[in-house]
Amino acid sequence: MSELKVRIPNNIKTRLESTAIDCFGKQNNALDIAVSKAIEEWLARVHKVLISQKPPEDPVHAIWGMLSHVDKSGVELQHEAKKIRANKAMRYRNVPD
């Protein structure tokens, strides 16, 4: 077993100690058990989130066919996006149309 030193606010420490004693009794290692269980639970939750947000191995395959309903070509969409960005930039700079 290893030892880990952390800093937590006093109010959390007080609540942790009292809750650990309520749950595990006045054992010498009640606080150790409570903190270990809390860290295990946190790691499990974070691990699930990280796995669910794992980026796809092939990003092209992940978006393949998403614009199949659009009747414009890729080049036409690029030109349209360029016009939209230019209009937004001009509005940002307060330049009249």
pTM of the model: 0.51
> What letter does residue 5 receive in the DSSP assignment?
-
Q: Is the pLDDT of residue 93 over 90?
A: no
Cα 2 to Cα 15: distance, rounded to the nearest angstrom = 24
One DSSP character per residue, 9-53 reads: -HHHHHHHHHHHHHHH-S-TTHHHHHHHHHHHHHHHHHHHHHHHT
pLDDT digits (tens, 9 = 90+) for 37-74: 999 999 999 988 888 777 778 888 888 888 888 899 88
Local confidence band at 17 (pLDDT 50, 70, 90 cut-offs): very high
Place of tokens 């030892």: 3
Q: Is the pLDDT of residue 18 over 60?
A: yes
